[in-house]
Chains A and B, each alone.
Chain A
Amino acid sequence: MCLAVPGKILEISETVSGRVARVQFGGITRPVQLDFVPEATVGDYVVTHVGFAISRVDEEEAARTHQMLEAMGLLESEL
């Protein structure tokens, strides 16, 4: 139930239910409500849960974590 997956916003449209994005998850696309991430734009990655985006993936933070982990990985292979 807390399953939420990151997907890429391909396009955004205004509908009767508000701002809806077409989001790509691997091989499929689904409509996702953007009520909670009004700042999201095309090309952003959003974490979505039960048809709503709940956060915009912070690319900088994601890169930082990744770099840290990579540094650890490299260190490990040198030992």
Chain B
Amino acid sequence: MKYIDEYRDERLARSLVAELRRRVTRPWVLMEICGGHTHTLMRYGIDELVPPEITLVHGPGCPVCVTPLEIIDKAIRIASRPEVTFVSYGDMLRVPGSSSDLFRVKAAGGDVRIAYSPMEALRIARANPHRPVVFFGIGFETTAPANGAAVWKARQEGLKNFSMLVSHVLVPPAIRLLLASPGNRVQGFIAPGHVCTVMGYRQYEQMSQESRVPFVVAGFEPIDLLEAITMLVAQLEEGRAVVENQYVRSVTREGNQPAQRIMEEVFEITDRKWRGVGMIPESGLRLRREFAEFDAEKVFRVEECTAEEPAECISALVLQGLKKPVECPAFGVRCTPDSPLGALMVSAEGACAAYYHYRRHSVPV
């Protein structure tokens, strides 16, 4: 397939790895922020291909993983109402809430449907004008424009039965928090290619300068990641710290203007709790007041609820790059994709799920 196959070319991979071996003279710790990157790295064994001096740690860029427990519980409350059609990305269905999950609501007869786009939820709403249809709007900046556009279109059409449960999170505040944390050992960042397709990469320039840490925006195929790692190592070895773009076929410095405009029009920045990390100020998006009739939290008046995580789950430590999934005593034993203790084992991009699918054999017995 065009623009995919070329980026999986084995000869190119080998020459990039050789280039890396030539360049690296000392240990470096790199973090990939995005869950999609984690999966490519694990699936193609890139973490094992790169020279041993390079340590790759996994960051919090998995929106399913960081959706707060309280929001999952709210989703379950709304979806459990017999009159509601609840539409969600498939990932979210098995994420454990305090005492249940959306899949169990569906199994018990709830009208919970999987969609790959908020446009499907709009279609369902149009086709069923007498049923309230709620879309579970989670994700990073990559997904926010689509969710924003759906709400904007709903208002334009005058849809009366559509609302969205919004829990968007933003990448830069999380990176800033990581950089400021005293235990931080990350020396270079692989920046998220599709978040940056939407937002551009200007936001990382100040961070890079202030913390003297290089960033390289990377695509999602194995060649993209190998090239990005090579670019990061080159900067580190040369003592440079700037933001570079490897994913030039999709990312520009300014990003996608129409997408940013719809985000600006429909959403505003808010404080947001990240599951496993805690409250990060101004790190989320919520619907603006003008769109209140499309805000499921307001429509269904779901009150604030506190929730507690299962004690064994070490998601917090994994999300911050402090522990690997295989170091968790429950990994693969009491916590598997079929019976997850935490969100990282559920999500297609969760680090624990990645390790379970591609690296289970390395768990010490």
Interface, chain A (partner B; CB < 8 A): 1-6, 8, 16-18, 25-26, 31, 33, 35-38, 45, 47, 49-52, 54-55, 57-59, 61-62, 64-66, 69-70, 72-73, 75-77
**Among the listed B35, B194, B259, which residue makes an inter-chain contact with A36, where contact means beta carbons less than 8 Å apart?**
B259
- Would you call B3 and A52 a contact (CB within 8 A)? no
| A65 vs B62: C-alpha distance when bound (angstroms) | 28
| A3 vs B146: C-alpha distance when bound (angstroms) | 14
Interface, chain B (partner A; CB < 8 A): 1-4, 6, 9, 11-12, 14-16, 18-19, 34-36, 61-64, 89, 91, 116-120, 122, 138-140, 142-143, 145-146, 149, 153, 157, 192-195, 197-198, 220, 223, 227, 246, 248-251, 256, 258-259, 262, 347-349
- Would you call B15 and A72 a contact (CB within 8 A)? yes
Residue of A nearest to B123 (CB): A17
| Inter-chain residue pair count (beta carbon < 8 A) | 143
Nearest Cβ in chain A — how far from B97, in angstroms? Answer: 19
Residue of B nearest to A65 (CB): B248
10 CB contacts below 8 A, A to B, read A2-B61, A2-B142, A2-B194, A3-B220, A6-B1, A6-B3, A49-B146, A50-B118, A51-B116, A52-B149
- Would you call B2 and A55 a contact (CB within 8 A)? no
- Would you call B117 and A50 a contact (CB within 8 A)? yes
**Among the listed A1, A31, A47, A52, which residue makes an inter-chain contact with B347, where contact means beta carbons less than 8 Å apart?**
A1
Q: A1-B142, A49-B146, A76-B11 are in contact. List 16 more A-B contacts (CB 8 A).
A: A1-B138, A3-B348, A4-B142, A17-B119, A35-B145, A36-B256, A36-B262, A37-B256, A50-B117, A52-B117, A57-B250, A65-B227, A69-B12, A72-B16, A73-B14, A76-B14
- Assuming A33-B119, A51-B117, A57-B3, is B139 touching A1 (CB within 8 A)? yes
Nearest Cβ in chain A — how far from B347, in angstroms? Answer: 7
Residue of A nearest to B347 (CB): A1
**Among the listed B3, B15, B259, which residue makes an inter-chain contact with A54, where contact means beta carbons less than 8 Å apart?**
B259
Residue of A nearest to B147 (CB): A50
| A45 vs B262: C-alpha distance when bound (angstroms) | 22
| A17 vs B159: C-alpha distance when bound (angstroms) | 12
- Would you call A1 and B143 a contact (CB within 8 A)? yes
- Would you call A1 and B62 a contact (CB within 8 A)? yes
- Assuming A1-B91, A2-B192, A72-B19, is B249 touching A61 (CB within 8 A)? yes
- Assuming A36-B256, A38-B258, is B12 touching A73 (CB within 8 A)? yes
| A17 vs B118: C-alpha distance when bound (angstroms) | 12
Chain B hits for A64, CB < 8 A? 248
Residue of B nearest to A31 (CB): B119
Nearest Cβ in chain B — how far from A39, in angstroms? Answer: 10
Chain B hits for A59, CB < 8 A? 249
| A19 vs B122: C-alpha distance when bound (angstroms) | 16
Chain A hits for B19, CB < 8 A? 72
**Among the listed A1, A45, A55, which residue makes an inter-chain contact with B89, where contact means beta carbons less than 8 Å apart?**
A1
| A76 vs B122: C-alpha distance when bound (angstroms) | 52
- Would you call B248 and A1 a contact (CB within 8 A)? no
**Among the listed B11, B34, B117, B118, which residue makes an inter-chain contact with A77, where contact means beta carbons less than 8 Å apart?**
B11
- Would you call B34 and A35 a contact (CB within 8 A)? no
**Among the listed A1, A33, A52, which residue makes an inter-chain contact with B348, where contact means beta carbons less than 8 Å apart?**
A1
- Would you call A73 and B195 a contact (CB within 8 A)? no
Chain A hits for B89, CB < 8 A? 1, 50
Nearest Cβ in chain A — how far from B220, in angstroms? Answer: 8
Nearest Cβ in chain A — how far from B320, in angstroms? Answer: 19
The CB with the most chain A CB atoms within 10 A, among B6, B117, B251, is that of B117
- Would you call A3 and B250 a contact (CB within 8 A)? no
